[in-house]
Structure 1
Amino acid sequence: MNATTNRYTTPASVTAQIAGLPDLQMAEIRSLWKELFRSDTPIYNRQYLERRIAYRLQEIEFRKVDRNLMDRNARRIKTIIETGQNKKRDRDHRPVAGTMLTREYKGIIHRIVVTPDGHYDFQGRMYPSLSMIAREITGTRWSGPLFFGLKPSATKPTSKKGVRR
């Protein structure tokens, strides 16, 4: 029995399935696409296919509605209707359950998956915050949302674009 058959009879975690996508042969990628989307692959761009498959796997696994996300969206929609403008995002940078965050640090790629209970799965261990994971990776204190690119740096880069002389 090969790994592909075994994966379907004993489902691995979504994290493991997504992490294993780069190891699959292109024929296996196309087969998995057909199973998930009930159609042939629209193109043969491997990167595109892997990303869409990863998204679909997460979509299937984490179908549950995130109440916080729904509330935030309702507030934003109300603001847009009232003011006609899309104001700055809420300060809450928590990603939706099932989101996979990827960060390369010192040549090593680190993957973190957001769980439905609001925690973070990193290397099979659960963490309550991204900052704890960033510290684990770097050995120094970091803002987790900043380290993983969920919020911009406080310092703005200087740009000469738009400056008239």
Structure 2
Amino acid sequence: MTRRSVEEEVEALATMSPAQVRARWKQVTGAVVPKVSPSLLRLALAYELQAKAYGGLSRKTQQRLAQLAAAKTQTRDIKPGMRLVREWNGAVHVVDVDDSSTIHWNGRAWRSLSEVARAITGTRWSGPAFFGLKQKVAA
């Protein structure tokens, strides 16, 4: 789908009847039509068309939105230059984040804090929780 055809499809939603919008929803998503107003369904359908053409939200953004919606925890992002220190079983572990946001621990680069936490503990941990970046929100 070209950029122009996506724009044309989104523009066409404004002139569709509610029945046409519902039918287009089923065609595009393959899902049951949500019980929302036609105007809201048009917005959702416009998003779906664009997400299919250009890609949807990143995994990180989806997780952040889910976390905000649940309002139970808050996770700070790692930033270049950050140094995280954690004591585990009597040993101090230092993780550095370089200018390209690469995570360094124990003399090598790691893809995520969770991988580092797993290497340190031998069990599956949330890296941000292990290093204190994920905290419960006060009620």
Please state which band the TM-score falls in when normalised by the shorter chain: 0.3 to 0.5
TM-score (norm 2): 0.43
More strand by share: 2
Length-normalised TM-score, structure 1 = 0.37
